[in-house]
Structure 1
Amino acid sequence: MFDHLSLQCDDLDASRRFYETLLAPIGISVVMEFGDVLALGGPDGAPKFWLGKQTTGGTQREIHVAFTAPNRTTVDTVHRTARDLGAEILHEPKEWPEYHPGYYAVFVRDPDGNNVEAVSHS
């Protein structure tokens, strides 16, 4: 449905470390950077998830973003990685049948307070 997503970060370096480490098990890494902006992408190298320094000021509202994991093992790896990073675990990995059968996900908090999910639909 969307082409790409961009988040503003209070501490771009902290967010970069968080997302590079957290999303590595899914095959997502920094594919482009310039100045105070960087983009992450998957194996195709397309910049889909952008991070930049906070520029609009004010209070940031929580955003929820979900990344597709190929299987449950990868969701569990993302969970362990988040724990190793010291990230707040919002919901341990589990199946969420209220969404649909086979929906298996973990939810964690990023350095800016956003709700980040890794989900497998298998």
Structure 2
Amino acid sequence: MIDHFGINCANWEESKAFYDTVLGALGYTRQMDYQVAIGYGTEGKPDFWIADMSAGDAAGPNREVHFAFQAADVDAVQAFYDAALGAGAESLHAPRLWPEYHPGYYGAFVRDPDGNNIEAVFHGAQPQG
């Protein structure tokens, strides 16, 4: 439902490397790069933007936000989580089913370099057992 959204990043170089890594694990790449803002997505459409907090209009207070990226399956959620931890992210919740959200909701949560709560989610997971 969300067309696109963006966040400000305090450590621009660290954030670019982090998002290249974790979004790459989900199949997303840089679609546009304006040096002070980068849009990630697929097929030429940037859906998620990061901006250098110290650059012009992007400057301002940075607050934690939560956002979720769609994953193709539970393996992609795991790949995202592993990539995030490998890139230095703090684990908030390891990959698992979240039945309190809805049946089949499988997600993993990490904190990015700027303290944002990010998630990869697959909505069609089957319960084990």
Aligned counterpart for 1:108 among listed residues 104, 110, 114: 110
Q: What is the aligned partner in structure 2 of residue 47 from structure 1?
A: 46
Residue correspondence of structure 1 range 15-30 to structure 2 within 5 A: 15-30=15-30
| Distance in 2 between residues matched to 1:23 and 1:38, nearest whole Å | 12
Q: What is the aligned partner in structure 2 of residue 13 from structure 1?
A: 13
Q: What is the aligned partner in structure 1 of residue 32 from structure 2?
A: 32
Q: What is the aligned partner in structure 1 of residue 65 from structure 2?
A: 63
Q: Which ranges of structure 2 fall in alignment gaps of 5 or more residues? A: 125-129
Q: What is the aligned partner in structure 2 of residue 4 from structure 1?
A: 4
Q: CA deviation at 1:68?
A: 0.3
| Distance in 1 between residues matched to 2:34 and 2:96, nearest whole Å | 37
Deviations 1:49-108 (A, max 9, x none): 1111113333x2210010000000110111111121121000000000000011000000
**Following superposition, which runs of at least 4 residues in structure 1 exceed 3 angstroms of deviation?**
none
Q: CA deviation at 1:2?
A: 2.6
Q: TM-score, normalised by structure 1?
A: 0.92
Specify the code of the residue in structure 2 equivalent to 1:51. Answer: I
Q: CA deviation at 1:120?
A: 0.4
In percent, how many aligned pairs have the same letter? 44
Paired positions, count:
120
Q: What is the aligned partner in structure 2 of residue 78 from structure 1?
A: 80
